[in-house]
Amino acid sequence: MTSAARHSTVPPAAQAAAVAPAAHAAGQRTPLIDGIEKVTGRARYTADLPFGDALVGRILRSPVAHGEIRGIDTRAALAIPGVRAVVTGTDFAAPYGVIPIAQNEWPLARGRIRYRGEPVAAVAAVDAETADAALAAIVLDIEPLPAYFSAADARAPDAVRLHEKKAGNIEREVDQSFGEVDAGFETADLVCEETYHYAEVAHGQIELNAAVAAWEPEHERLTTHSVTQVPYYLHLTLAQCLGIDTSQIRVIKPFVGGGFGHRVEPLNFEMVAAALARAAGGTVKVLLSREDGFLTHRGRPETDIRLKIAMAKTGAITAVDCEIVQRGGAYGGYGLVTILYAGALLHALYMVPAVRYRGFRVYTNTPPCGAMRGHGAVDARHAFESLLDRMAAELGLDPFAVRRANLITPPFRTINDLQVNSCGLPACLEWVEEASGWKTRRGALPRGRGMGLACSHYVSGSAKPVHWSGEPHAVIHLKLDHDGGITVLTGASDIGQGSSTLLAQVVAEVMSLSLARIRVIATDSALTPKDNGSYSSRVSFMVGNAALRAAEELKRILVAAAAKRLEVSVDDIEWNGEHCLVAGTDRGLAFREVVEAALVDTGALSVKGVWSTPPETQGGKFRGAAVGSTAGFSYAAQVVEVSVDEDTGQVTVERVWVAHDCGFAINPLAVEGQVQGAVWMGMGQALSEETQYHEGLPLRPNMLDYRIPTIVESPPIAVKLVESRDPLGPFGAKEASEGALHGFAPALTNAIHDAIGLRLTELPASPDRVFEALVEVRRTERLRARAAAGGQRNAGN
């Protein structure tokens, strides 16, 4: 029979109505459902939205790093024709901050200025020129205070406090001890200690910050379009700072050009745009510059780490002692979470029996730090994996062996009460060892070329939400109407990671339907259920689980309707998506007929799926235990191959092999993209990225001096997806966007050591740092040789 003849057996009516045949959607390499808009230029980002003659909002920034505001004279600015509103800190009802117990930031500084570039006033005018003229006409009267640009200076005994209640400018001090730490050190065969220093880095998402706020004076209602990763936090914060009821606010997230953590916290310009819109009684568009982005910051803090590890001859870790100091910047933001993450994830990658951790988050007169991809755990991972490498060498163990000596076997509860239900790290190690040719190539490479290994892990969503409202962690709505299309309504922010595509795949998989039947409407607070947001890699796991449950509920309703129409029991229905059959017969209904049956008496169907993390995954009872807890840990191992030019200090990454345990890849194409992107972002921090300030003035607030790697220096990244099938993840899936980042930097510096025998304890490994470290090593060697020669001469005398 020809294929044409086979087609002719399908009734004509069914042919006309056919949507692509059912196939598995989960596990398929799936281009993004909103990808065509992106490659054709049709995708509208916040700055692209057509708002007609919206007013132009502009922000005035502080020229001093620390000072008391004696006065802000806005009269001349207001008098300029075309200026519609001027606002200052006193126009807001309350301060804000992403963590409810640490809200000490105003959208525009009030009373005190704490960093250079902090917003102090804002204007809305008919055009940019008028708005700029108005900013220039605002007169600031600021009494300067001593300013502190390093954690050490801010902690000095005589330092002025940035925030009244915070003695020593310590935002949060952590002091945790688990297990028999002293005994662990006493019984060890080898104890090593090292100090590390990490430069501050920034997210560098390519889309500039933007917000459009529309105020309807007659209704006293606000609609804000913004670049946010968490519309829900923004919604709450707009209400709080403007002193209006949440019901009068609508928050919409259009296409967003990357976030990487920059846009998790509500950001000052979002509240400023709203205040301007209210004051002007209209629509205000605030488009920020790249320099503004660096000042808004929320990046990874400058960090100092002192780490001591104790080990048995076998490579088994017996104890860990670590102190971490983070230069947090001027405000609370996510600070206390960052310093807790650093300690929680430092050791929980391995089976470690005893840990002491002290952490200090310090207020300084620099732009506020916050959450950045790999939140809190990246610098700590570098220190840990670097010291493991050194200790392996001292014990004569292979770097793989020392990791394998400390692996977790799930189910497992770490010493700091984190629950591990699945762990594919052994398979990750096997793959990178094999793929990189580690056993035969390492050690056989010429001088200047080397290979390094590191492991990493990360949470699939924080198990405890920031707001204790008692709501589920994730909610999904599905709508099915007469048209036979299923609409997924979600508050989850797709910021490029592909979350909307993943949710459509989950629904399609459960219902055995084609993606063509499914639309996703996301992140419009008037339409979509609240979501806790795109942070801590929570969406695939948590929202994916909610989508799975919603789809199961919708399928249950449809199966029941089909059974009723066919006058059989639901158990007799064989569900195949586009059609269903009475099992063992050729009687059945097309999907459209099932939908018609299901809508009788009820009309359009709306169903819901929810998901919450089980209590046992929510961490222990000690102070700060929530941070680091998750329903599913991802794992990764990577080998980096480098070449190092010893004459210039230039480090070139030749290749990367990375294996990531994502539980199950719902969209392998997107997971690969996420893993490559994470590894590469780790490379940027490891090789070249750093902010720099002079007396609080940013010296690199642009994309030339802040050196994000270009395509020229970006290596091939071979990815293996390991699927450990987590018992709680949707289809076994875990996170894939962050966990592979942490391992890059230590794998790089371990590779540099393999190449030229130099152990870098400072990042980034920029040519100047590598060269200076080499000069230092050579000088030490010379002095040692001279001393040895002198010793011989002395002995000869």
DSSP string, 589-640: EEHHHHHHHHHTTT-SEEEEEEE---GGGS--SSTTTTTT--S-EEEEEEEE
Q: Identify which range of 341-349, 385-393, 473-481, 707-715 contacts another protein by CB under 8 A.
A: 707-715
Neighbouring C-beta atoms of residue 100, cutoff 10 Å: 10
DSSP string, 495-518: SSS-HHHHHHHHHHHHHT--GGGE
Does residue 714 touch another protein according to CB under 8 A? yes
DSSP string, 322-385: EEEEEEEESS-TTHHHHHHHHHHHHHTTS--S-EEEEEEEEE-SSPPP---SSTTTHHHHHHHH
- How far apart are alpha carbons 567 and 576 in whole angstroms? 18
In the complex, minimum distance from the CB of residue 79 to another protein, in angstroms, rounded to a whole number: 22
- How far apart are alpha carbons 236 and 609 in whole angstroms? 23
- How far apart are alpha carbons 391 and 403 in whole angstroms? 11
List 60, 137, 256, 307, residue binding another protein (CB under 8 A): 256
Contact 713, 653 (CB under 8 A): yes
Does residue 31 touch another protein according to CB under 8 A? yes
Does residue 204 touch another protein according to CB under 8 A? yes
Query: Pattern 69-98, binding to another protein, x per CB under 8 A?
Result: ------------------------------
In the complex, minimum distance from the CB of residue 209 to another protein, in angstroms, rounded to a whole number: 11
User: CB neighbours of 8 closer than 8 A, spacing ≥ 6?
Assistant: none
In the complex, minimum distance from the CB of residue 511 to another protein, in angstroms, rounded to a whole number: 25
In the complex, minimum distance from the CB of residue 134 to another protein, in angstroms, rounded to a whole number: 18
List 18, 192, 427, 669, residue binding another protein (CB under 8 A): 669
- Cis bond upstream, residue 353 (ω within 30): no
Q: Identify which range of 32-40, 351-359, 379-387, 502-510 contacts another protein by CB under 8 A.
A: 32-40
**At CB < 8 A and 24+ separation, what contacts does 645-649 make?**
645/448, 646/448, 646/756, 646/774, 648/767, 648/771, 649/766, 649/767, 649/768, 649/769, 649/770, 649/771, 649/772, 649/774
List 106, 196, 575, 680, residue binding another protein (CB under 8 A): 680
Tokens of 157: 């005994």
Does residue 681 touch another protein according to CB under 8 A? yes
Q: What are phi and psi of 475, to 5 degrees?
A: -135, 135
- How far apart are alpha carbons 87 and 90 in whole angstroms? 8
Closer residue to another protein in complex, CB, 485/709: 709
- How far apart are alpha carbons 406 and 284 in whole angstroms? 56
Q: How many residues bind another protein (CB under 8 A)?
A: 55
Does residue 47 touch another protein according to CB under 8 A? yes
Neighbouring C-beta atoms of residue 110, cutoff 10 Å: 16
In the complex, minimum distance from the CB of residue 37 to another protein, in angstroms, rounded to a whole number: 7
Does residue 11 touch another protein according to CB under 8 A? no
* Burial readout 298-323 (b: 16 or more C-beta within 10 A, e: otherwise): bbbbbbbbebbbbbeeebbbbbbbbb
- Cis bond upstream, residue 698 (ω within 30): no
Angle between helices 744-756 and 668-687 (to 10 degrees): 50
Does residue 689 touch another protein according to CB under 8 A? no
Closer residue to another protein in complex, CB, 93/699: 699
Closer residue to another protein in complex, CB, 185/535: 535
Tokens of 277: 């819109």
Does residue 36 touch another protein according to CB under 8 A? yes
Does residue 160 touch another protein according to CB under 8 A? no
Of 725, 681, 672, which is closest to residue 30 (Cα–Cα)?
Answer: 672
List 119, 609, 624, 677, residue binding another protein (CB under 8 A): 677
Closer residue to another protein in complex, CB, 53/394: 53
Sign of the four-CA dihedral 169, 698, 253, 119: positive
Q: What is the CA radius of gyration of the chain?
A: 29
List 10, 21, 24, 44, residue binding another protein (CB under 8 A): 44
Q: What are phi and psi of 759, to 5 degrees?
A: -100, 105
Q: Identify which range of 31-39, 190-198, 318-326, 337-345 contacts another protein by CB under 8 A.
A: 31-39
Does residue 597 touch another protein according to CB under 8 A? no
Query: Pattern 491-510, binding to another protein, x per CB under 8 A?
Result: ----xxxx------------
Does residue 48 touch another protein according to CB under 8 A? yes
List 8, 37, 90, 136, residue binding another protein (CB under 8 A): 37
The rounded Cα 471 to chain-centroid distance in angstroms is 23
Does residue 291 touch another protein according to CB under 8 A? yes
- How far apart are alpha carbons 566 and 102 in whole angstroms? 60
Does residue 711 touch another protein according to CB under 8 A? yes
List 11, 716, 727, 757, residue binding another protein (CB under 8 A): 716
Q: Identify which range of 587-595, 644-652, 680-688, 779-787 contacts another protein by CB under 8 A.
A: 680-688
In the complex, minimum distance from the CB of residue 487 to another protein, in angstroms, rounded to a whole number: 22
List 27, 38, 153, 485, residue binding another protein (CB under 8 A): 38
List 223, 676, 750, 766, residue binding another protein (CB under 8 A): 676
Contact 550, 611 (CB under 8 A): no
List 115, 149, 215, 260, residue binding another protein (CB under 8 A): 260
Closer residue to another protein in complex, CB, 417/689: 689
Does residue 708 touch another protein according to CB under 8 A? yes
Closer residue to another protein in complex, CB, 289/648: 289
The binding site for another protein (CB under 8 A) comprises 31-32, 34-45, 47-48, 50, 203-208, 255-258, 260, 289-291, 495-498, 669-670, 672-673, 676-677, 679-681, 683, 702-704, 708, 710-712, 714, 716-717
